[in-house]
């Protein structure tokens, strides 16, 4: 393949560019793609431009988008246009245009188009990649991207949204078929020989503490972070009040959210009356976010890495997609960055309002990101190309960003120190909490049996009685005593007696539900509380305890123990004392009637 890149102002230079291309266009080719990235937002001027291109290169597929530049220019005659003409010798290009009518529901239309486009992709042989141009400011692309990601896995997807920086101008996308005010253009590349490499870099670093999105008004509007109004984050940490927010450079301090191991930037683009914040791309309740800042050195380092990656691919043409927010933030420092790529291969730049990129299983909407798409037909030459990007390390970027870089370095080191202190404090707090939990458990447990001690089980009994009095929430209980326990101690000693108590505790734990309360009432006496249970259930549990004890040999000669049990439920006029005394009388009756039995209190 061969790529031709042209750059001119207004319509001046278009005819010369087309004439130059016609003189250099290869004789043999399979397809031609012309991409137009223009800062002109007058529809009739753009339509005229497309007509001239189609007339000069009738066999070409033409697509394009409105974009912006630095500085902002009012007169269209002085605005820049870039032509990226790709001539393929072994590949095919197909353009799919989708325009939404005003009456069509946006999300339903997006999903319908996504499924329709996915079906086209599935029918396309040797699909290599997809380029998207979308009217981002007027459309939510998420339903389309989700449908595509699910139905067309593994195929590289890249692209951007149309943008017009001058107030009042409406961005749009276009093709040889006409202007698309609200819609999507998809360029499908197919070939057995076409190779694509897609790389991206951002360079914004996390700053301050991690916060959780706790409330959203819609997919793009955060109402609360950590249950506090979202705008307070920018007011508290950056001193950006309501009035200042209108002129605040949102690209300097976006939120960062992590998805599938990738950090995605989300710049705020509006502050609402209730201090909710509107963002340029989607987020979700429960996602973790942090403030971030543009660190020049990190931007440069990531650009270096990406440049070397693209260079090693040895491309024949390069498409650069740069977020307009990054473009405004980096400013003049972006010029040498673009020149590195032009030393590797012919390169054209499209400035976009948000970038679209497949990352793992998702096709994400990105912001303040720089994307490079390298094209090559066939295998790379054996000999490596010109190491143009190595010169980047010797580039003095500090002439553009020296003060910003020093401040960013200070912020980075300070933030790392704060993170370290916060981690140490969190670790100390975790240890303290664990120690407190252990102390609390010890204070509420009987040391020998590891059941609740008398004070704790009595507190639960008081609470159950109160719930009965106030809400008529029924409960029942068991008071049980080991039969002939004094004889066991006298015969075998207190060590065996202690083991009997421990064994009984294990049986009790195995016979009750997870939300029941079991405690040692004193000596060999135990109290079991059964919330939301009537007397019949209490008797069943008592009998379960008795039968389970018959299976446990705890005495030295292999003998078992028995217990006497008083069972009962709370009655209408009962208070704490009444309930306990009825259980105690039932226990006494069980003892008096021969032991090893359950007696229901009346």
Active site residues per annotation = 524
> Any residues with CB less than 8 A from the CB of 340 and at least 6 apart, and which?
307, 388, 389, 391, 392
Residue 474 gets which letter from DSSP? Answer: -
576-592 and 454-471 are packed helices; what angle lies between their axes, rounded to 10 degrees?
120
* Residue ranges of E strands in 219-266: 221-225, 228-229, 255-259, 262-266
Strand partners, 564: 481
578 sits in which H/E element: helix 576-592
SS3 content of the chain, % helix, strand, coil (to 5): 40, 30, 30
State yes or no: cis peptide before 200, omega within 30 of 0.
no
Going by C-alpha positions, the residue among 34, 589, 131 that lies closest to residue 356 is 131
438 sits in which H/E element: helix 398-444
What burial class does residue 459 get, using C-beta atoms within 10 Å of its C-beta: 0-12 exposed, 13-18 middle, 19+ buried?
middle
| Torsion angle of C-alpha atoms 100, 107, 123, 96, degrees rounded to 10 | 30
Alpha helix (H) ranges present in 274-382? 296-313, 324-330, 334-344
**What size, in residues, is the chain?**
602
């Amino acid at each position: 393949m061969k790529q031709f890149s042209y750059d001119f102002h207004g319509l001046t230079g278009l005819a010369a560019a087309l004439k130059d291309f016609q003189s250099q266009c290869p004789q043999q080719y399979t397809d031609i793609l012309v991409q137009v990235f223009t800062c002109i937002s007058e529809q009739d001027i753009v339509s005229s431009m497309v007509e001239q291109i189609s007339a000069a290169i009738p066999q070409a597929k033409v697509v394009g988008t409105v974009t912006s530049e630095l500085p902002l220019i009012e007169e269209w005659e002085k605005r820049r246009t870039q032509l990226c003409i790709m001539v393929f010798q072994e590949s095919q290009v197909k353009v799919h245009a989708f325009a939404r009518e005003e009456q069509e529901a946006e999300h339903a239309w997006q999903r319908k188009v996504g499924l329709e486009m996915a079906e086209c992709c599935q029918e396309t042989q040797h699909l290599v990649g997809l380029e998207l141009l979308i009217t981002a400011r007027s459309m939510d692309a998420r339903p389309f991207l989700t449908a595509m990601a699910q139905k067309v896995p593994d195929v590289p997807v890249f692209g951007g949204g149309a943008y017009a920086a001058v107030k009042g101008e409406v961005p749009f996308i276009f093709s040889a078929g006409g202007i698309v005010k609200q819609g999507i253009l998809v360029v499908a590349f197919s070939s057995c020989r076409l190779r694509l490499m897609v790389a991206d870099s951002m360079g914004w670093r996390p700053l301050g503490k991690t916060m959780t999105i706790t409330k959203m008004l819609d997919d793009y509007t955060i109402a609360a972070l950590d249950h506090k109004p979202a705008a307070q984050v920018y007011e508290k940490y950056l001193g950006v009040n309501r009035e200042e927010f209108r002129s605040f450079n949102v690209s300097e301090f976006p939120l960062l959210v992590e998805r599938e191991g990738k950090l995605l930037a989300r710049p705020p683009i509006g502050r609402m009356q209730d201090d909710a914040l509107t963002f340029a791309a989607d987020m979700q309740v429960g996602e973790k976010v942090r403030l971030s800042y543009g660190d020049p050195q990190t931007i440069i380092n990531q650009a270096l890495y990406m440049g070397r990656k693209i260079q090693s691919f040895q491309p024949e043409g390069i498409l650069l997609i740069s977020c307009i927010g990054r473009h405004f933030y980096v400013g003049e420092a972006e010029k040498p960055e673009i020149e590195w790529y032009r030393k590797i291969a012919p390169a054209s730049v499209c400035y976009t309002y948000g970038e679209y990129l497949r990352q793992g299983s998702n096709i994400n909407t990105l912001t303040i990101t720089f994307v490079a798409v390298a094209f090559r037909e066939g295998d790379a030459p054996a000999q490596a190309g010109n190491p143009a990007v190595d010169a980047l390390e010797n580039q003095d970027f500090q002439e553009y960003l020296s003060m910003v870089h020093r401040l960013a370095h200070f912020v980075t080191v300070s933030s790392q120190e704060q993170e370290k202190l916060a981690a140490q404090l969190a670790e100390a707090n975790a240890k303290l909490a664990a120690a407190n939990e252990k102390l609390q458990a010890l204070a509420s447990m009987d040391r020998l049996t590891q059941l609740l001690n008398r004070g704790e089980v009595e507190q639960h009994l008081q609470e159950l009685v109160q719930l009965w009095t106030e809400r008529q929430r029924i409960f029942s209980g068991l008071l049980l005593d080991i039969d002939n326990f004094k004889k066991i101690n006298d015969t075998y000693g207190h060590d065996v007696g202690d083991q009997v108590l421990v064994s009984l505790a294990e049986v009790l734990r195995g016979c009750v539900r997870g939300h029941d309360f079991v405690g040692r009432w004193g000596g060999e006496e135990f109290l079991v509380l059964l919330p939301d249970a009537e007397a019949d259930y209490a008797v069943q549990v008592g009998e379960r305890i008795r039968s389970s004890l018959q299976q446990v040999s705890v005495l030295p000669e292999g003998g078992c123990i028995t217990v006497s049990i008083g069972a009962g439920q709370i009655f209408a006029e009962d208070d704490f004392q009444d309930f306990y005394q009825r259980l105690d009388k039932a226990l006494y009756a069980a003892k008096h009637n021969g032991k090893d039995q359950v007696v229901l209190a009346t």
